[in-house]
Structure 1
Amino acid sequence: MTSVPKRLSASSVMRVQSLSPRATKGTLAFGPLTVACALGRAGATWRKREGDGATPRGSYRLVRVLYRADRIARPVTRLPVRPIRPDNGWCDDPGHARYNSPVRLPFAASHERLWRDDHLYDLVVILDHNQSPRIQGRGSAVFFHLAGPGYTPTAGCIAVRLSDMRRLLACANDDTVMRID
């Protein structure tokens, strides 16, 4: 088993910068690491709304890591880690009391499946975007997850390659914050 590196002394902030105001690609810098990342199909915004396809600007704590144990090994990190199960979902219905929260499937209201056929959520980090307080319609399921081929735009998340995610998570801890500029 690989050991977890000590906390980065320089900073506990992952800085995400888009290449331009409406860009769907950017860079993510964390300590000595700088990697490419995908952003939302509508770029980044300070005025996040449900379904707008934009990545919300701001600073968000990394809450926990989920992974597909049937596809990849448990990631090395100081963050809380839990395997994804086939019945895991995330409510994205702004009118529902469980909005922007994990749910167990089947679930009657609109939701996103965390157990996906593609590999985007084989390793996913829950961010505390719109968590406390949770405001209806301000965006849900904004995650840090794996990038699609060619860093295709996300629905509003931040995405990196699996190898980059593993390196970043190995340096992350419960003090780590993702700042999206």
Structure 2
Amino acid sequence: MSPDDLVLTPNGVRFQGRLLPCSIGKGGLTTTKREGDGATPVGIHQIAGLLYRPDRIRRPVPWAEPIGPADLWSDDSRDIAYNHHVRAPYGHSHELLRRGDPLYDLVLVMDWNWPHAQPGKGSAIFIHQWRRPGYPTEGCIAFCRSDLHWLARRIRPGTRVIVPALA
């Protein structure tokens, strides 16, 4: 492992010599990820993208992409665009990327079940802002706002996110 890997531990995520408190999925960790199970998938993942709300925050790094009013993420396993960024109007089940709360003001997109998504294996595994310390996610990894922004300035596409099967 490299100090530039984000490594989940029982006490948070280790990255560049720091240990950052985080929240994971309400379903815990899993090696058999399924859509809607609320679990964080075990494995070695990579950062595939960075999205941000330009109406709320400045572009954190040059490779970040803005989230607009029509931006969505498909979570319908019957959809050909399952587990991909899509735009409204959109007739399939989806998640709003432009939320009313600040959770998705800055989103690191992980490559879980992407770009060649297998139906039902889980979608939208992101790194984003938490609601509050210890509050679980729907399967994502979440940090306080300041730690998330600190991470975003230091990672790049391809940065590894290591989620071991913790005891």
**TM-score, length of structure 2 as denominator length:** 0.92
Cα 1:132–1:69, aligned 2, differ >3 Å: closer, same or farther? closer
Residues 84 and 115, structure 2, Cα contact 8 Å, conserved in 1: no
Residues 143 and 157, structure 1, Cα contact 8 Å, conserved in 2: yes
Q: Are 1:15 and 2:3 counterparts?
A: no
Counting aligned pairs with the same residue, the percent is: 39
Cα 1:175–1:142, aligned 2, differ >3 Å: closer, same or farther? closer
Gaps of 5+ in 1: 1-9, 20-25
The AA in structure 1 aligned to 2:6 is M
RMSD: 1.4
Report the equivalent of 1:39.
24
Cα 1:151–1:119, aligned 2, differ >3 Å: closer, same or farther? farther
Residues 60 and 177, structure 1, Cα contact 8 Å, conserved in 2: yes
Residues 5 and 161, structure 2, Cα contact 8 Å, conserved in 1: yes
Work out the number of aligned pairs and report it: 163
Gaps of 5+ in 2: none
Cα 1:175–1:100, aligned 2, differ >3 Å: closer, same or farther? closer
Report the equivalent of 2:83.
100
C-alpha deviation, 1:132, in angstroms: 4.2
Report the equivalent of 1:180.
163
The AA in structure 1 aligned to 2:31 is W
Report the equivalent of 1:128.
111
4+ residue runs over 4 A deviation? none
